[in-house]
Structure 1
């Protein structure tokens, strides 16, 4: 009993970091109007307060996964959490835009250090594969709840205590997690990773930065402007250099043994697809309800909330049935459910009356249930394919793909909305077709999964 209690406490403590990472995206997004007034920011500067955090997080995740192998999961988790706490404190004390921007980047770097090591610590805390799969499902449910209520929690703190509270709340939570993991966890340094290719990691971070810059400038000047296309070209060149160098190096960012593993590649693709879909859906629903249906932001959020709740239900349902059904079959079933939800959304998008909202909500709920099952199932597939030795790199790769997927989901919506201005029936139809195609691709790919 004590062992289970200890492990579940570890689950809660390790989840704390992910919850804070989520709140530091949604919470800061809600604080933007206050920050624009207090720091006298332009729209472009405001966007960078979100994007620089994503750059620090997504750009260094793979490096962090390799550092975790070299120096140990516990050490990286504690270092990342401490950096995150310190950066959060300074963000809360910021008096100018450059100061806030710099420490937002450090927040992202801190989060990138503790996220893959947290997944690895959790994975290695449970020896039995079935129990481990169940715990990963609970882990996903906790993070899904944080994602679903992140805006509500962030809004409460901003309204009650001001925008600085969004950053200050991270400090005590981080300290609690640091003390617990320091007292209860053992640092394990795995062999086989003696050197790290820092130059390629820097190039990769720069390439991700050019993508973020492309998406940010594209919103302001158009995605086909010469400034935007210059950023896109820079991304292609930098990424090509990284790929060419990775093929020749003895110390790749992602070990070759993982890149040759079909389950590892498939799970990463699922993570990318899910975030393209989910981020895109949440954004397009928010825009549709407010711009076309003329609902308030609060009502729009409440209309999206049922889908997020059902997503958590899908997470919990996964933890109940994983003992009886293989992961490969659960992935197939979850993608099938997601396709059904996507079909419902596509067909009801031709309706333009308010009555269609009920059907849209149902379609989103069905899709969310499928996503709720697919996310922990694909995470389990990924971690099992990597094993304990490479679990931190695997976790880092998955989280990096999810971050990039979220960026692409946002970009797809932005492009569709900018080209089909105010034609909401057509906007919804186009995105729902894209969404359906994503899960159709996922269904075809899942047939390559090895038996589990």
Structure 2
């Protein structure tokens, strides 16, 4: 007797839609929260240290779990892990939107980060399974990455609109209907993805990675309020040193390490990860500090703050395309060096701004910074994928993304500690942060010039 239950067919296009939607929400939640910081601070009665934890709780867990999440997806199936990650992210977004204390919000952000880490590697695996032909897969991945770039650009503006109209919980509650749509489409139309039961999980290395990055984050964030010699701060840095050393030892001796150290025998791989860390150190650290500057010092509303960031984010997609063309013609070194030098000049040009500085003076340097970073990232990714062995492209790209997210965590921690003394110290701390960002990208440009080969 024929069944009356409707059966869906696999749909590569709808799989691309669902995975892109998941990636959009993950990227949005990296940037969208920045424009809500002043409202969250007033609503939950926290200080700059608490705001840093709201940003970094998400990015810290995301960065720490990214490599292991890829292995979990390989072992248990990309579709299952993507849906689990998407569901966790969606439920955690509800918890963030309902949070009435700073601790509850930070806990929700931790869960969001875990969900995001599960989603991203699995989404790429689903695309690979849905588009087996190389050219079609390349187009699908470029669309996936392109909408992520648009989300990065739209994040501050979307956040500003939502916070202005509906208050800060709305930036999290917006994820609920979109998350449900993504989960349902994935369940109905995505392939199951391949499984690799033999792929091991490096739980010891994962625990040490969390301890090392968590200790480093703790030290930097708490130093602003407690001082560099406080026992808690020193304990955080000590935890980083000990756990980091043990992590390297475990990865060097492990049979199936989460981060094969042999990857870094390649100068291009090492240089690209260093550049990725330095680039995000400057970009996300300054996005946190400039959000406070626009809202606290200049008195902008969340929407005005989101619009103020447009020069830094709006041309990301166009600059990415230009970077791809330059890389194809000249190799990755030119756009990497040029992009970092341009961004460094933009950051250094902002180092003298103050409360009375007209916004028109700020636009040009913000534009230079945004375009410079957007020129750097695609070329850096291309360099890594071109250097890694075919069977290690996934772990190599995961290592690069983990390095970039780690840079963002450190940037928010370091730059946030410089402005943690309140409004009276914000300008002086911001000026130091801008100088450090310019120096970091100058170093990155030199590394790129010396270690990345020209075509």
Per-residue CA deviations over 1:137-160 (Å, capped at 9, x if unaligned) read 544442233223223323433444
CA contact (8 A) 2:35 2:302 kept: no
Residue 335 to residue 60, structure 1, CA distance change in 2 (3 Å): same
Tell me whether 122-131 or 21-30 shows the greater mean CA deviation.
122-131
Residue 435 to residue 9, structure 1, CA distance change in 2 (3 Å): farther
Residue 123 to residue 97, structure 1, CA distance change in 2 (3 Å): same
Residue 386 to residue 403, structure 1, CA distance change in 2 (3 Å): same
How far did residue 100 of structure 1 move? 4.8
Hey, what does 2:405 align to over in structure 1? 403
1:144 corresponds to 2:149: yes
Residue 156 to residue 416, structure 1, CA distance change in 2 (3 Å): closer
1:193-232 alignment, distance < 5 Å? 193-232=198-237
CA contact (8 A) 2:23 2:144 kept: no
How far did residue 345 of structure 1 move? 4.8
Tell me whether 393-402 or 34-43 shows the greater mean CA deviation.
34-43
CA contact (8 A) 1:53 1:105 kept: yes
Can you give the 5+ residue segments of structure 2 that lack an aligned partner in the other structure?
A: 1-10
CA contact (8 A) 1:279 1:406 kept: yes
Residue 357 to residue 349, structure 1, CA distance change in 2 (3 Å): farther
1:52 corresponds to 2:52: no
CA contact (8 A) 1:350 1:429 kept: no
| Among 333, 336, 340, the residue aligned to 1:338 | 340
CA contact (8 A) 1:416 1:431 kept: no
Hey, what does 1:179 align to over in structure 2? 184
1:41-440 alignment, distance < 5 Å? 47-94=52-99, 100-122=105-127, 136-189=141-194, 191=196, 193-289=198-294, 298-318=303-323, 321=325, 325-326=327-328, 329-343=331-345, 345-346=347-348, 349=351, 358=360, 360-386=362-388, 389-417=391-419, 424=427, 428=431, 431-432=434-435, 434-440=437-443
Q: Distance in 2 between matches of 1:444 and 1:33?
A: 37
How far did residue 15 of structure 1 move? 2.5
Hey, what does 1:445 align to over in structure 2? 448
Per-residue CA deviations over 1:247-294 (Å, capped at 9, x if unaligned) read 111121113553444444333233212211212333444455566666
Tell me whether 257-266 or 31-40 shows the greater mean CA deviation.
31-40
Q: Distance in 1 between matches of 2:228 and 2:248?
A: 25
Hey, what does 2:6 align to over in structure 1? none
How far did residue 64 of structure 1 move? 0.7
Residue 143 to residue 205, structure 1, CA distance change in 2 (3 Å): same
CA contact (8 A) 1:338 1:369 kept: no
Q: CA RMSD in A?
A: 3.9
Q: Distance in 1 between matches of 2:136 and 2:84?
A: 28
Q: Distance in 2 between matches of 1:184 and 1:93?
A: 32
How far did residue 112 of structure 1 move? 0.9
**SS of equivalent residue, structure 1 residue 326:** helix
**SS of equivalent residue, structure 1 residue 83:** helix
CA contact (8 A) 1:69 1:193 kept: no
Q: Distance in 1 between matches of 2:382 and 2:197?
A: 23
TM-score normalised over the length of structure 2: 0.81
Q: Distance in 2 between matches of 1:391 and 1:123?
A: 13
Tell me whether 11-20 or 32-41 shows the greater mean CA deviation.
32-41
Tell me whether 106-115 or 273-282 shows the greater mean CA deviation.
273-282
Tell me whether 434-443 or 421-430 shows the greater mean CA deviation.
421-430
Q: Distance in 2 between matches of 1:390 and 1:180?
A: 30
Corresponding pairs, count: 444
**SS of equivalent residue, structure 1 residue 196:** coil
Q: Distance in 1 between matches of 2:427 and 2:366?
A: 17
CA contact (8 A) 2:49 2:221 kept: yes
Tell me whether 87-96 or 68-77 shows the greater mean CA deviation.
87-96
How far did residue 374 of structure 1 move? 1.9
**SS of equivalent residue, structure 1 residue 186:** coil
